Amino acid sequence: MHLPTALKIKGSLGVKFVVPALALLISGGCVSFSNGYHDIKIGMSEAQVKGAMRSCPNVSGETGRYKSMTYLNRMDDFFQWAPSNYTFIFKDGALVEFGEGAPAAIKTNGEEGLKLLPPKVDAAAVAEKIPSPVCAS
């Protein structure tokens, strides 16, 4: 079986074109593993954050007018080296703070609230069993 002359790849030109094209296709497909974390913005509702994360949080809690949702051991980037805990803090139903870390109770001007604490590396905490996702709403 012979290919038409227009479809034949001659010499090293075919390798120079096919190999980079294949690499682009393969690496481009990896980007689709992202779970929407990068689409989240301050002011979003809890439902919008859950929709962007495409799942329910592992842990949630409330303190006064504040609510927190934490997703444990998530790999939100294809090129991320290790899983992280992502916390979202809401005040009166709107997202006010989010990122890697854990929620911490605070008291400001007599009002109870929550603040995001940055992560610290703790080998024992990484080894803990992750609780099942909870959807209260």
* Tens-place pLDDT, residues 96-105: 999 988 999 9
pLDDT tens string 6-45: 545 555 555 555 555 545 444 443 333 355 788 899 999 9
Full-model pTM: 0.62
pLDDT at 48 > cutoff 90: yes
* Inter-residue contact 71 to 57 (CB < 8 Å): yes
> Which one is predicted more confidently, 45 or 76?
45
For residue 127, pLDDT beyond 70: no
Determine, yes or no, domain membership for 23.
no
Q: Does a structural domain hold residue 135?
A: no
What's the number of domains the chain is made of?
Answer: 1
Position 82 in a domain: yes
pLDDT in tens, 79-112: 667 778 889 999 999 999 999 889 999 988 888 9
Note whether residue 6 is domain-resident.
no
Could you tell me if residue 112 is inside a domain?
yes
Instruction: Give me the mean pLDDT over the 51-72 stretch.
Output: 92
Distance from C-alpha of 3 to C-alpha of 127, rounded to nearest angstrom: 57
| Host domain of residue 112 | 36-127
Model confidence at 49, in pLDDT bands (50, 70, 90)?
very high
Average pLDDT rounded to a whole number, residues 128-135:
63
**Residues near 77 by Cβ (< 8 Å), separated by ≥ 6?**
34
- Write out the H or E segment, with its range, that includes residue 64: none
Q: Considering the domain boundaries, does residue 49 fall inside one?
A: yes
Residue 19 pLDDT: 56
Residue 56 lies in a domain: yes
Residues with Cβ < 8 Å from 28, sequence gap 6 or more? Answer: none
Does residue 31 fall inside a structural domain? no
What CATH number does residue 101 fall under? Answer: 3.30.1450.10
